Amino acid sequence: MATGPIPLIAGNWKMNGLRADAEALATSLVALREGSGAPACDMLVCPPATAIAAVADSLAGSGIALGGQDCHFEKSGAHTGDISPPMLADLGCAYVIVGHSERRANHGEDDGRVRAKAAAARASGLRPIICVGETAAERDAGTAVPVVLGQLSGSVPEGSASDIVIAYEPVWAIGTGRTPTLKDIAEVHAAIHGRLPDIADKAGSIRILYGGSVNPGNAVEILAVPHVNGALVGGASLKPDDFWAICQACP
């Protein structure tokens, strides 16, 4: 990654950890960062909703940003169990993940729903991290790029600008220890980069993250791929030393 926006390394903690675990993880990250100085990237953690408030306290003044893992597309109302963008902002969140493949698969979220959530997030001053990615069958059928570009066009709200983040996460690479070849990552990121000017303003400043089995062993080479502007990290983000090593792998 020779030029482009400052990378973003985002930890998606998923449904892991009670408050004490989350506080311990956040406190470890703060200590690592204070020990070695800020890395060449923006750092973000997305704890489970139940731990966001506690983590906000642990991260206060650290320079590490906080995000939600999902949000509703309305500000308030009769939506039992849901969390709105203003509620996340109220806790100190600056980002929210929308359209993660686990939400798309387990909660039937389609592109239209993801787009509405991303629009609502922006309206509340949050930066949506909009996830796209092909399944194994789509990759095998040779349709990864058109599938991803279709999701991108369907999921990015109108009027978007550099406040949005795109995360390319091949579904088959998430939590599996398998990653695409660097050539395949480069191909999809170049395709997303090429399409963004058609659907968003200031497209050159929009970060495109890679996600799916990123770890300290593969981070350097993945983060060096053209148009890879950071990573969305699941499993490895639960281990402070691993997450910190990935942050330090930014070029």
d(CA 164, CA 129): 6
Q: Is 59 a residue that touches ligand PGA (CB under 6 A)? A: no
Ramachandran region of residue 4, left (φ > 0), alpha (ψ -120 to 50) or beta?
A: left
Q: How far is CA 46 from CA 78, 212, 220, in A?
A: 25, 16, 22
Part of the chain binding ligand PGA (CB under 6 A), chosen from 135-143, 152-160, 188-196, 205-213: 205-213
Alpha helices by DSSP H, the chain: 19-36, 52-59, 85-90, 101-106, 111-123, 136-140, 144-155, 182-199, 219-223, 240-248
Q: Is 197 a residue that touches ligand PGA (CB under 6 A)? A: no
- By CB under 6 A, what part of segment 62-91 binds ligand PGA? none
Question: Residues 18, 51: contact at Cβ < 8 Å?
Answer: yes
Verify whether residue 100 is a known catalytic residue.
yes
Residue 164's Cβ-side half-sphere holds a number of Cα atoms within 13 Å equal to 31
Active-site entry in 23, 134, 138, 169: 169
Q: Is 212 a residue that touches ligand PGA (CB under 6 A)? A: yes
For the CB of residue 197, give the shortest distance to ligand PGA in the complex, in Å: 26
Part of the chain binding ligand PGA (CB under 6 A), chosen from 35-43, 58-66, 184-192, 234-242: 234-242
Q: Is 174 a residue that touches ligand PGA (CB under 6 A)? A: yes
Applying CB under 6 A, among 7, 157, 170, 211 the residue interacting with ligand PGA is: 211
- List beta partners, residue 109: none
Q: Is 232 a residue that touches ligand PGA (CB under 6 A)? A: yes
For the CB of residue 219, give the shortest distance to ligand PGA in the complex, in Å: 11
Question: Residues 206, 200: contact at Cβ < 8 Å?
Answer: yes
Verify whether residue 193 is a known catalytic residue.
no
Identify which of residues 44 and 55 has a Cβ nearer to ligand PGA in the complex: 44
The residue at minimum Cβ distance from ligand PGA is: 234
d(CA 83, CA 191): 33
Active site residues: 100, 169
Residues at the site binding ligand PGA, with contacts judged by CB under 6 A: 12, 169, 174-175, 211-214, 232-236
